[in-house]
Amino acid sequence: MDFAQSEERYQKLEKIGEGTYGLVYKARDNQTGEIVALKKIRMDHEDEGTPSTAIREISLLKEVQHPNIVPLKDIVYDESRLYLIFDFVDLDLKKYMEIVPQLDRMQVKKFINQMLQALNYCHQNRVIHRDLKPQNILVDIQQQNTQIADFGLARAFGLPLKTYTHEVITLWYRAPEILLGQRQYSTPVDIWSLGCIFAEMAQKRPLFCGDSEIDQIFKIFKIMGTPKESTWPGVSTLPDFKSTFPRWSTPTNPAATLGKDISNLCPLGLDLLSKMIVYNPYARITAEEALKHAYFDDFNN
């Protein structure tokens, strides 16, 4: 990878979005004529050097290479500016869902399979994304291909698990263990987020859409039931779990309960979804296990 020393190589055409830690532009590579995505990293404290989040994103993207993960093409930097250069992709999943009437069942299956492939690769390489949401899934309309993007909050992990911040993952896609204050967490938080995206692709609206942390918790509880020690050992000891929480009953058949609102998923799809949003992170399905689920038996990559 050649690191460009001057931003003159890239001509900004228009602002197309805002990532976790920077603005994203559509730009032209003046050397090749190629259209690219240019992510400008915010340098809020220039005297402190390059933000640690940017260093982390660069180092992780240099390590992960997968057809369903956005590749880092180039880096432009000087003392006061840092740009990351990526392939330009038409839309993110959120915008894509806004312009299509409905994703058909096979399209939902194809997209979630691609995301699971990418996530399985990340997790096998000990990387947690920590910010999966439709805005961070890019969609190539022509190829019908998705790519996971924005690794600004991603972390490499090891064993034993370290204590991490709970200020991660956009609220609607945040796993319950993080919402309840757990500081030691791992790959299951990504599976929960991807389960929420799975449901959203099928029903074209978010599965749990709270307007605050407590509202988000209660939105989850109303559908999945208030967690208890018998279903999630240790839940009552989490920092933000309250014994005074309202007690919503746990559904005896979570897949059937989800199916009442998500009509565009077949029974096998609902079964997979129910395994992705299990409360107990240790009982939540892994990306590797999900790819072997019967939901994908009729699917050819």
Chain segment 240-277, per-residue pLDDT in tens: 999 999 999 999 999 999 999 898 899 999 999 999 99
CB 149 within 8 A of CB 16: no
pLDDT for the residue numbered 153: 79
Return mean pLDDT, the chain: 87
CB 272 within 8 A of CB 285: yes
Highest mean pLDDT among 7-21, 159-173, 178-192: 178-192
pTM attached to this predicted model: 0.88
Q: What pLDDT, in 10s, does the model give residues 71-102?
A: 888 888 766 678 889 989 889 999 999 999 88
Q: Which of 131, 150, 190, 271 is catalytic?
A: 131
Q: What pLDDT, in 10s, does the model give residues 281-300?
A: 999 999 999 999 999 998 75
Q: Which long-range contacts (CB under 8 A, 24 or more apart) does 123-127 make?
A: 123/187, 123/190, 123/286, 123/287, 123/288, 124/288, 125/63, 125/64, 126/156, 126/157, 126/158, 127/60, 127/63, 127/64, 127/151, 127/154, 127/155, 127/156, 127/157
The residue ranking higher by pLDDT, 73 or 201, is 201
What mean pLDDT comes out for the span 140-150?
91
The encoded tokens of residue 53 equal: 């989040």
Gap between the Cα atoms of 160 and 286, Å rounded: 18
User: Is position 298 annotated as part of the catalytic site?
Assistant: no
Containing H/E element for 248? none
Looking at residue 92, the DSSP 8-state letter turns out to be E
User: Was 110 annotated as part of a binding site?
Assistant: no
* Percent of all residues in the chain with a pLDDT value above 70, rounded to a whole number: 87
